[in-house]
Amino acid sequence: MSSAIDSPRVDTLLLTGAAGTVGRMLRGPLGSLCRRLILSDLKATAGPLAANEEDRPCDLTDRSAVQRLLEGVDAVVHLGAYSVEAPFEQLARANLDGVFHLYEAARLAGTRRVVFASSNHVTGCYPQGQWLEPTDPARPDGYYGVTKLFGEGMAQLYWYRYGVESVCLRIGTCTPEPPDRRALSTWISPRDLFSLVAASLKTPEVGCLITYAVSDNPARWWSDSGWAQLGYQPQDSAEPWRDQVGDRVFPEGSPMARLQGGSFLGMGPFGAPGALGSPGPIVPSDPPD
């Protein structure tokens, strides 16, 4: 098997979570980086396949199925997850078991590089405006953030013990344009996200690198540590939308307005199903981060 870091072009690349919002954004551009692009989600991918695309639905909670999925794969862009704050039980299977299954399958298959979609919600309980480095202690803003911190830990285990390299991207708000005032700090354009993912696949000898995924926003709260190593230079900025989103704010004094995690701090705590004040079932909707 060729290594993902032997040349700028990956032979076989796996994209998990291919049917999600970010997966759909990255699918087309990622096809230009590889000879063969495997698309995987719980269900078949919508629309016609490109000449170098292969659709392979897979449940990340099925360990044997994930091992079969990774056979012959050189590198993975791992977006597959339950992607919104929810009761822990709803998150655990895909975001904990699934991440373990993915990394263990990568070890067994000889896959050498994983680009792991972590999240800014790993540090979402820091105050808005506080500058953060990837090395600052984690402060998850909910169960979702905890599961992403677990994924970063799994990435470190599989690098230091088994030599599987990872770039863990703490992704900000990836939407076509910033949706609110918070996003003036957290926004990353689809173009910049693809640039960062591509750099994460191509850069040799990354080891296990954790970095924030954000555009060149003057109001950003997060360090560019790791960008130089990857050769990432963001091209976009949220600043042109400042006037447009200026009045879209969270309630004054609320955790959503005070802390970096934004809307995720308005979800939960979650009671037992059917309990008074407990929300109904939450369906993954792949919302802005």
Instruction: Give the pTM.
Output: 0.92
Structure confidence at residue 276 (pLDDT): 37
Contact in structure between 148 and 122 (CB atoms under 8 Å): yes
Evaluate whether residue 287 is within a structural domain: no
Structure confidence at residue 272 (pLDDT): 58
Contact in structure between 248 and 180 (CB atoms under 8 Å): yes
Query: Measured in Å, how far apart are the chain's first and last C-alpha atoms?
Result: 35
Domain total of the chain: 1
Evaluate whether residue 273 is within a structural domain: no
Report the amino acid identity of residue 76: V
Tokens of 176: 């076509």
Structure confidence at residue 4 (pLDDT): 41
Nearest residue to 186 via CA among 199, 200, 174 = 174
Contact in structure between 124 and 247 (CB atoms under 8 Å): no
Low pLDDT (below 70) residues in the chain: 1-8, 272-288
Cα separation, 236 vs 182, whole angstroms:
16
Question: pLDDT tens-digit profile of 14-63?
Answer: 999 999 999 999 999 999 999 999 999 999 887 899 999 999 999 999 99
Evaluate whether residue 282 is within a structural domain: no
Evaluate whether residue 138 is within a structural domain: yes
CATH number for the domain that contains residue 73: 3.40.50.720
Is 144 designated active site? yes
Residue span of the structural domain in which 87 resides: 10-266
Structure confidence at residue 273 (pLDDT): 54
Alpha-helical regions (H) of the chain: 21-31, 63-70, 88-92, 98-109, 143-160, 183-186, 190-202, 227-230, 242-245, 255-258
Cα separation, 97 vs 12, whole angstroms:
24
Contact in structure between 154 and 95 (CB atoms under 8 Å): no
Structure confidence at residue 277 (pLDDT): 37
What are the Cα distances from residue 51, in Å, to 24, 37, 47, 277?
A: 17, 9, 13, 50
Catalytic choice (82, 143, 144, 158): 144
Evaluate whether residue 230 is within a structural domain: yes
Evaluate whether residue 169 is within a structural domain: yes
